[in-house]
Amino acid sequence: MADRARTIADRAAVVCLERLGPASAAGEREIATLRRLAAGFAAPLLALPLALSLAYGAALGLPLGVTLVVAVFLIASVTVLSFQQARGTAADQQADAGTGETERAAFDFCPGLMLTLDALGVVEATGGRDRIHYNGFFREPLRRPFIEQVHVTDRIAFARALDSLRQGADASAVELRIDRPVTSRDQAQFINVRLDMTARRDDQGALAAVVAQMTDISAELRVRAEAAEMAGEAERANEAKSRFLAAVSHELRTPLNAILGFSDILTGEYFGKLANERQREYVQLIRQSGGHLLSVVNAMLDMSRIESGRYELMLEAFPVAEAVVECENMLGLQAREKGVTLTSRLARGLGEVTADQRALRQMLINLVGNAIKFTDAGGAVTIDASIEAGHLKIVVSDTGIGIDPDKIGLLGQPFVQIHNAYNRGYEGSGLGLSLVKGLIALHGGSFAMTSRPGEGTVVTISVPADGSGAVLADDLDDDGNTVEFPPRLKVDLSQGERLTRKETVDDDAKAKIA
């Protein structure tokens, strides 16, 4: 019975509070207050009408007593509820004030100058740790459009950044120049700043305000300028080095050709026989040394041409099989003398490809020559050629000493050789693989390598069979740089087991025809 009466009283309290309006929405605290007041006025509601009935009669005393009790109850309820609401509002205001003070304190501790802008970019408030410094040269920023403080040529950039926030972006950043009074000859008229803006939106998602942080980036811009200057100096030094290599290579080729020519004449004994076998041996050594030096000079010249963008590709259609067989015949003697088996496997219907024939043969010679050089007696070197998906794919594999995974990333850099306990005594200038990388890049092809120490190496090159890669590379490179030189090989250890230390090098190259 008591619970039912309590439920009825609670429902009556809720109805009364809702009729007072949304500002007096029914809450647990208000309902509990009315419940206690109703319980307190229950006894007077019975006692006062009875007392008045005895004094003035039942006809007058009962309604008068009930009316007085109900009136006092209503007055007490309104008074108590008003007091509670006022106290709650004061507490909320105090909490809001505390929150505002906390936000303001955090606002003032932020580095640089903090700005609050409205949706039109008008400054409503300023703050920040360095506000005194910036306010010293701002022209009365409050209640004025911030764009008036910005350099004329940077105002469009600021307007675009602010418009992006209106369009729905949460944040935007822009670099600007702010005018400031000049106090000395060494001081610039404008200060370079970065303005990071964050949007504040209303319940409908519209831009209500913008909180912006402005920081000085003058030192950063100086560092950028110094870095750009150093990069320019490095590029100029690199170009000077390339010109030097080209000039020296040309100057060395003339006397080397003479040395080789005269050594060939002496070897052939066209103008008389040599006196003994030692003279013939010395002449042969002169011929071999001169030939080796000429190959190094030619490699340096080709490298400088590729690096400077003056290497000209002569695209023509030619049968790939002939180039592979020619390379096999040319290096077959070297392989047999070392005890290495050199074989080639050509796919059926290999046909013709469009590329620079001399460059392709040079790539084959360098790759096969390296494979033979680093393969001991009894090993094998295999050349595979096929056309897959419109690309000429050539694979040169060997059973040689392999490459240390920790040093495979050094491959492809000019004059760099991988020295270890196995191949420390092998000859070479370290230019062969660099030239292969550069020539593949000129054709718009790709290079890949896998190697395991003690088991061998597999090198795969791929170029477009119709010669379109070179044209595409020419279209893609607009800055005048042809090939990233020295080419850098990217090592990927994500595939395969790391315990086997299988190394995969895969690098797409970009170039142009000079």
Give the CA radius of gyration of the chain. Answer: 45
Cβ neighbours for 485, distance < 8 A, ≥ 6 positions apart: 303, 306, 307, 414, 434, 438
**436 and 460 housed in the same domain:** yes
Question: Does the CA dihedral 344-349-354-357 come out positive or negative?
Answer: positive
482 band by pLDDT with thresholds 50, 70 and 90: very low
**For residue 290, how far is the Cα from the chain centroid?**
49
Q: What is the mean pLDDT of residues 474-500?
A: 41
Contact 429, 496 (CB under 8 A): no
**187-245 pLDDT, tens per residue?**
677 888 999 999 999 888 889 999 998 888 888 888 999 999 999 898 888 778 777 77
Domain's final residue, options 307, 322, 340: 307
Opening angle at CA 447, ends 446 and 452, nearest 5: 155
**395 and 287 housed in the same domain:** no
DSSP label at residue 407:
T
Exposed (0-12), middle (13-18) or buried (19+): which is 290, by Cβ within 10 Å? buried
Does residue 514 lie within any of the structural domains?
no
Stretch (H or E) spanning 449: strand 446-452
458 beta partners: 397, 450
Give the lowest-confidence range in 108-112, 212-216, 358-362, 418-422.
418-422
* CATH number of domain containing 490: 3.30.565.10
- Residue 468: pLDDT over 80: yes
At 132 the three-state DSSP class reads helix
CA distance 510 to 473: 6
Q: Please report, in angstroms and rounded to a whole number, the separation of the first and last CA atoms in the chain.
A: 102
Opening angle at CA 118, ends 114 and 119, nearest 5: 125
145 φ, ψ (degrees, to nearest 5): -60, 130
The boundaries of the domain holding residue 30 are: 2-106
Other CB atoms within a 10 A radius of the CB of residue 69 amount to: 19
pLDDT at 48: 77
**166 and 80 housed in the same domain:** no
CA distance 301 to 295: 10
pLDDT at 485: 41
178 beta partners: 150, 191
Cβ neighbours for 94, distance < 8 A, ≥ 6 positions apart: none
**36 and 165 housed in the same domain:** no
- pTM, rounded to two decimals: 0.48
How high does pLDDT run on average in the chain?
76
The domain total for the chain is 4
**290-301 pLDDT, tens per residue?**
877 877 777 777
Domain's final residue, options 290, 307, 324: 307
Higher per-residue pLDDT: 360 or 68: 360
Does residue 352 lie within any of the structural domains?
yes
Closest CA to 131 of 220, 218, 214: 214
* CATH number of domain containing 125: 3.30.450.20
